Amino acid sequence: MFPVWKGVFRRKRVGRIEADRPCRSEEIPSHVALIMDGNGRWARKRALPRAAGHHAGMLAMRDVIRAADDWGIKVLTLYSFSTENWKRPHHEINYLWQLVDEFFQLDIGELVARNVHIRILGEPSQLPQATQVTIARALESTKTCSGLVVQFALNYGSRWEIVKAVQHIASRIQKNEIAVAEIDEDMVSNAMDTAGLPDPDLLIRTAGDQRISNFLLWQIAYSEFVFVDVMWPEFTRKHFYSAIQAFVARERRFGGLK
């Protein structure tokens, strides 16, 4: 049975902006990464349990995935559970895994209909067995989908990812498959969980904090950052639209001159 607080809020629609692209198709960022922050603070302001904030955050995530697909974004990476999040209370962690199960069970049909391809960043083998099964089914269901790629960072930490990549490359050297002199940026990128995908053009973090929190440290070398004060459960297409417009207005030089 759903907790009683699940009926106390609804996602609001925001008019025509839901259907309109925030800019011309060629200006849409190919890859947007999101640090979805503020669920607990959103709940506390409403005298609700933190679980209510996480559930509201799942609804916001659903809307953002739909918007990214509607607007032609190619890759969306969502920071869902970090390696540091294991420090939280057990009951909160357990509820987060229940939410993962709920999302994929309820939304997999729409994701497949939208041709969304699911990828997982991180180490899912440490997650509860039921969640691993749910994730495996979602990966299997969307493996032939060729539209928007949605990456869920689950039990993910960027330093861990970089260490794993270094270990992989070192193992290849040890097996005499490659020489040290052959190591370059492409080789390192291809050893990351995000191999084969473009680096994020835009990183958005909600809830006002302005830090990276061990997220995609290698991949965001030239990403544009947009920090918004709104808590994640309140983040709508309108806020997403505004963040993309801010991205488009910037001049990206990648260390060179215009």
CATH number at residue 104: 3.40.1180.10
Tell me whether residue 96 is in a domain. Answer: yes
Top pLDDT among 185 and 24 is at: 185
Would 72 be classed as within a structural domain? Answer: yes
Q: What is the pLDDT of residues 125-143, one digit of tens each?
A: 999 999 999 999 999 999 9
Q: Is residue 172 part of a domain?
A: no
Q: Looking at residues 32-52, what average pLDDT do you find?
A: 97
Domain extent for 151? 26-157+199-249
Count Cα neighbours of 125 within 13 Å in the Cβ-side half-sphere: 1
The verdict on residue 5 lying in a domain is: no
* Residue 1 falls inside a structural domain: no
Please report the pLDDT score of residue 15 as a whole number.
42
Answer yes or no: is 213 within a domain: yes
What was the pLDDT predicted at 59? 97
Query: Does the residue 190 lie in any domain?
Result: no
pLDDT at position 3: 54
Check 37, 63, 69, 201 and give the catalytic one. Answer: 37
Dihedral, 82, 83, 88, 90 alpha carbons, nearest 10: 110
Is 85 one of the annotated active-site residues of the chain?
yes
Q: pLDDT confidence of 11, banded at 50, 70, 90?
A: low
The crossing angle, in degrees rounded to 10, of helices 50-71 and 237-249 is 50
Residue 176 appears among annotated catalytic residues: no
Report the pLDDT averaged over residues 160-173. Answer: 98
Residue 176 lies in a domain: no
| pLDDT 10s digits, 63-78 | 999 999 999 999 999 9
Out of 20, 63, 70, 85, pick the active-site residue: 85
Phi and psi dihedrals of 196, rounded to 5? Answer: 90, -5
What's the rounded Cα separation, in Å, for the pair 121 and 160? 11
Residue entry with tokens 């490359």? 169
Residue where the block lists tokens 């052959």: 182
pLDDT number for residue 165: 98
Q: How many domains does the chain have?
A: 1
The pLDDT score that the predictor gives to residue 252 is: 81
